[in-house]
């Protein structure tokens, strides 16, 4: 039964074989036009070539700078968030993860760029900014920075 199936007529079309004589309908120039770079054989233009105009990649400014492969990326928590969410007490990075203040396994850094703090906290974290440390200690709390391994 399956061996008798055939595709619908006209659904399958053979590709046109060019360069096989004029009577075949694709001779002489074989669809390449007359003369010029596109009509020639061999490798075409290089990638990004725009006909002699300065290519896009050369028109863009060079980006300077350097990213150290040894850089330490931190998950940051701001003081205003800590003040809103947490009650007075001691917290380490695992406790902050349980409270969903930190999501990734990156080391944790407390920043003091936003907000002030009035509650007394004790934090054990991987890093702390100078402003955050001052604000926490001013409120009567302490910050313990873990040693890097």
pLDDT per residue as tens digits for the range 116-148: 888 888 999 999 999 999 999 999 999 999 987
Say yes or no to pLDDT of 69 above 90. yes
Question: Is 12 inside a domain boundary?
Answer: no
Q: What is the pLDDT of residue 149?
A: 61
| CATH code (residue 112) | 3.100.10.10
Q: Which domain holds residue 101?
A: 75-145
Question: Is 69 inside a domain boundary?
Answer: no
Residue 105 DSSP code: S
Q: What is the pLDDT of residue 82?
A: 87
Higher model confidence: residue 126 or residue 84?
Answer: 126
Taking the C-alpha atoms of residue 128 and residue 123, their distance in angstroms, rounded to an integer, is 10
Question: Is 104 inside a domain boundary?
Answer: yes
Question: Is 113 inside a domain boundary?
Answer: yes
Q: What is the pLDDT of residue 133?
A: 92
Report whether 115 contacts 78 (CB < 8 A): yes
Say yes or no to pLDDT of 115 above 90. no
Query: What is the SS3 assignment for 62?
Result: coil
């Amino acid at each position: 039964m399956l061996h008798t199936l055939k595709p619908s007529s006209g659904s399958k079309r053979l590709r046109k074989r060019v360069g096989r004589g004029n009577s075949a309908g694709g001779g002489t120039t074989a669809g390449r036009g007359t003369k010029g770079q596109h009509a020639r054989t061999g490798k075409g233009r290089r990638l990004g070539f725009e006909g002699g105009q300065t290519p896009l990649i050369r028109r863009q400014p060079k980006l300077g700078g350097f990213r150290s492969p040894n850089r330490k990326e931190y998950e940051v928590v701001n003081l205003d968030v800590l003040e809103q969410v947490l009650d007075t007490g001691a917290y380490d990075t695992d406790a902050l993860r349980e409270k969903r203040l930190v999501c990734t396994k990156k080391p944790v850094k407390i920043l003091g760029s936003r907000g002030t703090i009035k509650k007394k906290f004790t934090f054990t974290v991987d890093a702390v900014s100078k402003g955050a440390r001052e604000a926490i200690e001013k409120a009567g709390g302490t910050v313990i920075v873990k040693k890097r391994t």
